Structure 1
Amino acid sequence: MPPTLDLSRTSHAKVVIAPPRINLRRAASYQHDRGPLSSTSSRFTFNHLVFSPPPSPGLPSLSPPAKKPSRRLFSTVRPLRVIRYAIRLLSVVLVFFVALEVLTWFFGESTPTPTNTTKSVIQEPEPETGMVSQKAVPDFPTPIVVTDDRGRAKWTVSIPPGSEFPLAMSQYVDMCLKCRQVAERARHLRSHGHGLHQVSLGFGSDSADDFIDVKEAEKAGYFAGVEKYDGGVARGSETGKMACKKSLTFVLESSDAGLGKTLMMLWIAYGLAEKEGRAFFIDDTRWSYGKFTALFQPPPIPECSAPPSHEILPCPRHTRHLVASAATMDVLFGSLTESADPPSESHDRALRKTQFNLARRGYEALARMNKDDGDYVDTRVRELTDMRTVPKSKGHRNGLAVGVHIRRGDRHPLEFQYRHSYMPLSLYTDTAYEIIESQFNHTTTGLFASSHSGEEAAAAKEQSIVVLASDDPMVYESAELAGAANRAQERIKLASKQNIQNTNQDKSVMRKFVDETFGWEGGFFAAMFWNLGVTSAHATAAPDASPGSGNYAAPSAETLRLRSLVGRAYVMDLTVLADASDVVVCTVSAVGCRLLAVMMGWERAMDEGNWVNIDGGYGWLGLEW
């Protein structure tokens, strides 16, 4: 019998029994199957440290956490990262300076403070322009390049105070050419200048930003010694009015002997000035037809006084005080004759209507004839109206007045087959009679629809008249028109050689020798006009004696008087045709034909079709020559 265990002698009164959840199985990870290992054993490893039991959730870890290696700045050099940081930094700097430049463009640049060291600098020598580099302001009219206090290249136009006004036509033409070149030079210097403030990205840079007007240039000190004007009132002004803020001065001087082209440009210039809020002035100092008031009444007087002459510039177009003439018409009228839009019939019609409306506004303001001629024209229009009135007409129907304008001389038609000659007179008369026939066609519908329409139409047709105006006195005596047409006016006539000789038929009277007689046979020619009032002994042999040519000489008082008579006859002819005629027949190649359309008005001439061109299928051409 085996001995029994006696537990009564032990010091523990109770026995602790392990709970059933405790696993009493020997863990291989704690004690290997082969028994405990010692440090001296050949099987001794550190696996007992590596494969340690997992830490208790409530107890700290038996081994300290592994320390992460510290990252030192630039411990590892990465070239791409350095380049990326450099690009970002340069981008921030560039954006800053671009934003500064844009703000300067939007909010304007500060006017340079005038100092004694501020100087105007003309651009470098240009072989094609002949400009000379210098530091002082030139003593002749010319555009110049200047630099402001920030080193920006700009440009202006320098005209020495006290210079003759207006300048010669050749000077204005030369200045307009140089303005384009100097403006381009200033833009080139701005875009290729030194320093970040000269950086140009291709936007916000306009010639208007580069140009400095004369008044601002004076304040900035670019023009040393220029006389200042206080309070906007020009010194020497007799009116005492404030000087105009914006103005347009039209110089009537022209190398074209014809009057029509000058009048068309004058009227359109007035319309542009009114549209842009500019005061309008007319200069007739060297006009070939004499004084403007010899033909027309004085133009409307502005509420301000004319600016100093050295502030009136021919270019650029946006200058404060602009001077325009036939010599610089491209600067003033370029926007009215050219367009970036593709050509189309509707666009061309809209562009020409714009020109037409501007010319119409100028006609209404400036084409008032002098009192004597105006009274005569009013009387003549009433006479022609009475001639076409049907007596005792129950329907108050009058005859039709068809105006015919025939231009010959040095103006040839646009139509191909007549481009080296003239339109046959039969085309004018046939067109006029066709218009009359179409209006009185004896129908019971339309214009004369009534029980007595046939009788009234026949009576009105019988009273219809043709009103004729021409620059060739022989046209009035032609077989096609003699006795069938009425002169537009008989106050001033262009006489033929035969008419002049018929006035001196009494050979019994002793008369002193006179030069050979010349007349206007064939029409108006420029050479004939330029030699008016000049005796045959002193007449120029060259056909061109216009201003600017080597044969031109200042006209005498007698010459200006004769030229003024020619201009007055021209204006009265057109006015009578426009006021007394229901329909006008003419050739659009003549500028007088285009003026007639303006004088009739767009609705009456174009919309109602009462302006009839027989020179090809062209419409109103405006400034296109």
Structure 2
Amino acid sequence: MARPRPLQLASGTPKSSDYQNLTPRTPHSRAGRAEEAFSDIELTDIREADEDYQSPQQQQSKPLLTSSRDGYRSRGDEYDGRHHPGMGQKRWTFARVVSLLPLILSALTGLLLLFLIFASVQRPDTLHKIVGAIPPSEGAVDVGRPPAQQDNPVVSSASPSISTAQPSQHANSSTTHTVNLENLISYENYTIFPLKPDEYRAECSKHNSGFMKHFGGFWDVPMHGPVDVPHEENDRVCRSTITYMLDGKVGLLADLALMAQVAAMARERNRTFFVDDTYWDRGKWADYFIGVRKSQPGEEPDCLPPPPNELVACPRGARHWVINSRTAKYHLGHPFSETYENAYGHGLHRLKPIFNMARESFSNTILPNERMRHLINIARDAFQKKMAVAGASSSYLGVHIRRGDRKASSWKYHGQYLPTSEYVSAVVDTWPRVSPPSTGNSTHSIPSNPFIYLASDSPEGEREFTSSVHAENVFSLAGSRNPELAALASPMDYVQSEFDRLSLPERAAATKGMIVDFALVSGMWAADDGFAPEATICGISSSVCRLSAVALGWDRAFGELGSMGDIDETGKRWVEIDEHGTIVPVWQPFELFR
């Protein structure tokens, strides 16, 4: 029997094609790695790395229990097998390059934006040329030169630029601005001027829409230049104006509260102040008040008002700014407070500058005309005569009851009218605290039951209150024996949406009655004899209540405030019975409407 040929080649290096690794069953084996909690992907990477060992020195030519020099566990327990020199090394394939393209493009875009920001700060002219924009110096008219002297003047209703003179933040100086074509406001879709109140509100909504429309200071001009309508150059027209439009959308005192702040801003900015009554449902401003051109003439007392088609509601930096109750929310909101409040005060202290602005306007700008002063004096004389007959002094309390379309603001009476008992309790608590001390030489006594001037829009509310106190001590327009005063009493609860249903004479009578009521219940426009209430009791939901504090004055209204702006409960004479001081601050200068 033939024996097989003996092996002549005893090499320990077999061919890779028929080589099969021998796996020792040790903790360092490949199978043992399953105990190390490697994932399937990690095991695949390790397997691929093991198969890459193609050098003869790394083949199994040594005893099975001898570790390879690149072994996994021979490097110690701190060695991370996932970072093996042969494993995890990615090849720069086409797919990998494609996967990195978004990151590369993002980095390049960031560098481009950084370059543009740098260029816009350092070399804006170069950036204008790159993007094809017109620099202000090339597309604007200098207001410092008359139009006839401009280089290459353009005579057209759609001029490529207009000039505006905008006062600076310093009261005694002004700043020249130019307006580019891109910043022009177009009124081409309107044919009736001035625009209606809701149309001005629509223009404000359009102007304030978009990104980053509310940055900058209250009076700052936008970086891209002023926004305005075209103006016809006329030296007789006022250089810069602010107009308050009486739109007939809110109550009389709500309008006056807003107007007081607008008039104060006109004084501060050296801008001529006007009142527009085109759409007022109460008649003409001159029917009740002195013309503001007389009471607040400004720096240009003889200038003409601007053409109505040049009035702009937004932005407020326009040459001829107009504001009404519908657009006030775009101007008298948070930016206004940030600008005019006392930034270093707490609580009510923050509002003192705005309070003083309103008080100055009611002292010097918003003044009743001669006819209204006559009616106010008639009511004062009749009330004083009634107190004199009773042998009482001239001290009294003012009480204002508001119903109609005004419900309580507090949650306690949410959706309801303030009950009459709240007013009666406030009278009982307030009078002993504020009544002047009697003197031995006085011919008039201080009654335990005070005299009360009652102002109310509600005949029913007036009857309820009168029946709850000494009726003989209550004076009101409705209860007056003077027919001229009785004709001014409110015929029904005041509802703004129903006010226009009355005839114009009825609306005018109600307006006069409101002015007389406000003067006596608050002491506004008091005569030289100082006949004014010792305190005013009211609910904060009414604008009459807000402005009654202004009439009383800061110290009399709120007493000696604490360091944190807390109202003085023992010294206050402005008695608010709706929220009872639960809302901070306890007083607000005006109301903003939608």
TM-score relative to the length of structure 2: 0.59
In structure 2, relative to structure 1, the CA distance for the partners of 1:273 and 1:104 (3 Å cut) is farther
Query: Which residue type is aligned with residue 563 of structure 1?
Result: R
Is the contact between residue 469 and residue 488 of structure 1 (CA under 8 Å) also seen in structure 2? yes
Count residues with an aligned counterpart. 407
Deviation string, structure 1 residues 165-194 (Cα, Å, up to 9, x no partner): 210223212211221247869x9xxxxxxx
Q: Which whole-Å CA distance do the structure 1 matches of 2:429 and 2:418 have between them?
A: 17
Q: Which whole-Å CA distance do the structure 2 matches of 1:563 and 1:92 have between them?
A: 65
1:400-549 matched pairs, under 5 angstroms: 400-439=395-434, 447=437, 459-461=445-447, 464-478=450-464, 479-481=467-469, 483-489=471-477, 490=480, 491-493=484-486, 520-521=491-492, 523-532=493-502
Note the C-alpha offset of 1:587.
Answer: 0.8
Deviation string, structure 1 residues 307-344 (Cα, Å, up to 9, x no partner): 23333211112122101111111233125665499999
1:175 aligns with 2:191: no
Counterpart residue number, 1:567: 511
RMSD: 4.5
Counterpart residue number, 2:270: 277
Counterpart residue number, 2:246: 252
Query: Which residue type is aligned with residue 460 of structure 1?
Result: I
**Partner secondary structure for residue 204 of structure 2:** helix
Paired-residue identity, %: 22
Counterpart residue number, 1:610: 573
Note the C-alpha offset of 1:95.
Answer: 7.5
Counterpart residue number, 1:83: none
Deviation string, structure 1 residues 364-408 (Cα, Å, up to 9, x no partner): 23432232331231243244345546999xxxx936311111111
Note the C-alpha offset of 1:249.
Answer: 1.0
Is the contact between residue 227 and residue 317 of structure 2 (CA under 8 Å) also seen in structure 1? no
In structure 2, relative to structure 1, the CA distance for the partners of 1:589 and 1:212 (3 Å cut) is closer
Q: Which whole-Å CA distance do the structure 2 matches of 1:92 and 1:524 have between them?
A: 63
In structure 2, relative to structure 1, the CA distance for the partners of 1:612 and 1:285 (3 Å cut) is same
**Pairing partner for 2:538 from 557, 561, 586:** 586
Counterpart residue number, 2:321: 322
Q: Which whole-Å CA distance do the structure 2 matches of 1:247 and 1:570 have between them?
A: 29
Query: Which residue type is aligned with residue 364 of structure 1?
Result: S
**Pairing partner for 1:598 from 527, 530, 550:** 550
Q: Which whole-Å CA distance do the structure 2 matches of 1:520 and 1:390 have between them?
A: 29
Counterpart residue number, 2:185: 157
Is the contact between residue 249 and residue 323 of structure 1 (CA under 8 Å) also seen in structure 2? yes
**Partner secondary structure for residue 431 of structure 1:** helix
1:289-304 matched pairs, under 5 angstroms: 289-301=282-294, 302=297, 303=301, 304=303
1:622 aligns with 2:589: yes
Note the C-alpha offset of 1:568.
Answer: 0.8
Unaligned runs of 5+ in 2: 1-113, 129-134, 142-150, 162-179, 524-531, 560-570
Counterpart residue number, 1:378: 377
TM-score relative to the length of structure 1: 0.56
In structure 2, relative to structure 1, the CA distance for the partners of 1:254 and 1:447 (3 Å cut) is same
Deviation string, structure 1 residues 200-250 (Cα, Å, up to 9, x no partner): xx9xxx8623134547x66xxxxxxxxx43xx33xxxxxxxx322210011
In structure 2, relative to structure 1, the CA distance for the partners of 1:161 and 1:248 (3 Å cut) is farther
Q: Which whole-Å CA distance do the structure 2 matches of 1:117 and 1:171 have between them?
A: 30
**Partner secondary structure for residue 510 of structure 2:** helix
| Higher radius of gyration, 1 or 2 | 1
Is the contact between residue 594 and residue 620 of structure 1 (CA under 8 Å) also seen in structure 2? yes
Q: Which whole-Å CA distance do the structure 2 matches of 1:427 and 1:613 have between them?
A: 10
Counterpart residue number, 1:312: 311
Counterpart residue number, 2:83: none
Deviation string, structure 1 residues 429-468 (Cα, Å, up to 9, x no partner): 222132223356xxxxx946x8x59xx7993235841111
Query: Which residue type is aligned with residue 461 of structure 1?
Result: P
**Partner secondary structure for residue 259 of structure 2:** helix
